[in-house]
Structure 1
Amino acid sequence: MAHNILLIGGHGKVAQLLTPLLLARSWNVLSMIRSADQKNTIESLKQGQPGKLDVLVSSVEDVQSEADAQKIIEQVKPDWVIWTAGAGGRGGAPRTMAIDRDAAVSFTKASIHTPSVKKFLTVSYISSRRNKPSWWSGEDWDSALKVNNEVLPTYFQAKVAADEVLTVLSKERFDAEAKKGVPENERFHGISLRPGALTSAKAGGVKMGKITCRGSVSRETVAQAIAAVLETDGARGWIDMLDGDDDVGAAVKKVVKDGVDSVEDEDFEGMKERAAKL
């Protein structure tokens, strides 16, 4: 099936590696970019692939509400949405919150509230969580706390808020569709893909699921993982990943088959309360 994908943050490094992988699967991609001078770079990614590639010049900084995001969803008419946008540390704390939290939450809500959108995948990061998971060591948790509280405090607050909104609202829609008798593979699937520190190394193997948070992962591997997650029926929830020895596609299938969701040990009721305020 030729899916129509809205790729938000299309000029980013991971998104540029991802775009040809999506097109190679005969999926159609609408790459949303910040400025017109990025357009030629994006259009060069098609490289004879069977999927259709279009470009939308529209800055995520202009998306300040669910209604703003909804206008873009209605224009593009995707059935899958991928969020890879981010402030990238530029513009200080206000810009990080405006993009990584507010615009991300706006697109998350608009996507989940649009019945024709069936999947929303956000690229988060492995330490974006409030509670220590049972499979992490004390050293793992100390490392995560240092990143979240000292190194990237504003980024953490933005990303974890967006992750929680996705988690809460996607579960609500998934459960509501289940009550209506919608088959599981046709229900909405919300996915938070959570890589470790990103590198420019060549793509390799991975480890996924309930793993340590200490480590890195190639951007090429992350791009491969996004494509693999999207094409794997049943993939949803939080998927942690680092460089490792497992084949990407096989690792995704195992996580899905085993029902592994790294959101485990988070406080879902607390999530609901916080998400309701955004």
Structure 2
Amino acid sequence: MAHNILLIGGHGKVSQLLTPLLLARSWNVTSLIRSPDQQETIEKLGQGQPGKLSVLVSSVEDVKCEGDAQRILEQVKPDWVVWSAGAGGRGGPSRTKAIDQDAAVAFTKASIHTPSIKKFLTVSYIASRRNRAPWWTDADWEGAQKVNNEILPHYYKAKVAADEVLTVLSKERFDEEAKKGVPENERFAGISLRPGALTDKPAGGVTVGRIHSRGDTSRATVAESIVEVLATEGARGWIDVLDGDEDVGEAVKRLVKEGVDNVEGEDFEDQKERASKL
């Protein structure tokens, strides 16, 4: 089936690796980019691919609320949405909040509230959580705390807030569709893909599941992981991924079969309370 995908943050490093992979599946991609200066770079990614590539120039910094995001969704009409945008540390705390939290939450809400959209995948990071994962070592937790509280405090606050909104609203829609008798594999899938420290190494295998918080993930592997997660029925929830030895596709299928969701250890009621305020 030819899916129509809105890729938000299309000029980012991961997105430029991801776009040809999506198109190679004969999926259609609308790449949302910030500046007309980026358009030629993106258009080259679609050359010789079976899927159709479109480019939409519209800054996510202008998305202040769900209605702003909804207007873009109505224009593109995707059935899957991938969020791979970010302030990238540029512009200070206010820009980080505007993009990584406010715009991300706006697109998350608008996507989940659009019945024709069946999947929303956000690229987060492995330490974006409030509580210690039950499988983490003391060193894992200390490392995550250092990143979140000392190195990237504003980014952490923005990302974890957006992750929580995705988690809460995805569950609500999933449960509503269950009550209506929608088969499980056809219900909405909200996905937070959570790599480690990003590198420019070639794509390779992965380590997934209940894994450590410390480690690298190549951007090329992140891109391949996104494709496999989107392509795998039943993939949803929080998926932690580091570089490793397991084939990406097989790893995702195993996660789904085993029912692993790395949101384990977080308090859903607390998430729900915080999400209601955004």
The Cα of 1:232 is off from its aligned counterpart by 0.1
Cα distance in structure 2, aligned partners of 1:227 and 1:177: 25
Number of the residue aligned with 1:58 = 58
Deviations 1:153-186 (A, max 9, x none): 0000000000000000000000100010001111
Aligned twin of 1:33: 33
Aligned positions of 1:4-153 closer than 5 A: 4-153=4-153
Asked if 1:3 corresponds to 2:3, the answer is yes
Cα distance in 2, alignment partners of residues 121 and 225 from structure 1:
11
User: With structure 1 as the length reference, what TM-score do the two structures score?
Assistant: 1.00
**TM-superposed deviation, 1:47:** 2.4
Q: Distance in 2 between matches of 1:186 and 1:267?
A: 26
- Which residue does 2:207 correspond to in 1? 207
The letter of the residue matching 2:3 is H
Q: Secondary structure at the residue paired with 2:238?
A: strand
Deviation at 1:118, TM superposition (A): 0.2
Runs of 4+ more than 4 Å apart: none
User: Which position in structure 1 is the counterpart of 2:170?
Assistant: 170
Match of 2:240 in 1: 240
Offset from partner CA, 1:229-255 (integer Å, 9 cap, x none): 000000000000000010000011101
The amino acid of 1:163's aligned partner reads D
Q: CA deviation at 1:43?
A: 0.2
Distance 1:91 1:209 in 2: 34
Query: How do residues 188-203 of structure 1 correspond to structure 2 at under 5 angstroms?
Result: 188-203=188-203
> Aligned to 2:26, what secondary structure does the other structure show?
coil
SS of 1:177's equivalent in the other structure is helix
**TM-score, L = length of structure 2:** 1.00
**What 5-or-longer segments of structure 2 have no aligned partner?**
none
- Give the deviation of 1:62 after TM superposition: 0.3
- Give the match's secondary structure for 1:201: coil
Report the AA paired with residue 120 of structure 1.
F
TM-aligned CA deviation for residue 191 of structure 1 = 0.1
Within 1, Cα distance between the matches of 2:211 and 2:181?
34
Aligned residues: 278
Unaligned runs of 5+ in 1: none
- Percent identity, please: 76
